[in-house]
Amino acid sequence: MKKTLLTTGLVGILMVGAAAPAIAFEDTASTPLPGTGAKVEANAWQCSTYFDKCSFKTSTKALKGSAKYKVSKITNTATVKANGWQATLSLSPSGTQVSENTRQVSWTNKNTWISDISGIADPGGSLNTSVTTCSDGGAFTAGVKAFASACAND
């Protein structure tokens, strides 16, 4: 009986630890999608504290109220930048190198409501390096389009 209680207690402790909210930097911005009553929303999220690598997520969503709004085409571009003196950046997924300290990753979906990207940024080159993650997105449907941008930084 003691073994069962100890195991149950340990599982309870692990579950509570896993459920704790992560601290992060995030930003959201939106723009109306003309003539539809919907909006295009860009979201950027990144870790707030890191010792080596920093996770990031970006998305572009088409929403009508809080409901998903299907569009013909929806795109998202994540731009991740390492800030600081002689800062460098490597990224997973690798994306396109914009400069020594900036990378971009893009994704496009058709006939849906969301396009999202996630990955790991590995900044280097300076003791005072920080990371900025931006999300640029657009939605296209029935001859109209709209774009939104959001940036999260520490």
Which of 80, 86, 81, 89 shows the shortest CA–CA distance to 122?
Answer: 89
Cα–Cα distances in angstroms (integers) from residue 76 to residues 20, 54, 103, 108, 147, in the given order: 29, 20, 14, 6, 10
Mean pLDDT value across the chain? 84
What CATH number matches the domain at 24-153, 2.30.29, 2.60.40, 2.60.120, 1.10.101? 2.60.40
* pLDDT tens digits for range 9-48: 333 333 333 333 355 799 999 999 999 999 999 999 998 7
Burial level of 49, CB count in 10 A (0-12/13-18/19+)?
Answer: exposed
Of the candidate ranges 46-50, 71-75, 83-87, 89-93, the one whose mean pLDDT is the lowest: 46-50
Which residues have CB under 8 Å from 60's CB, separation 6+?
A: 40, 41, 42, 43, 74, 75, 76, 114, 115, 116, 135, 137, 138, 139, 148
pTM listed for this prediction: 0.81
Sketch the domain layout of the chain as residue ranges.
24-153
Contact indicator for 30, 99 with CB cutoff of 8 Å? no
Here the tokens at position 78 are: 């994540």
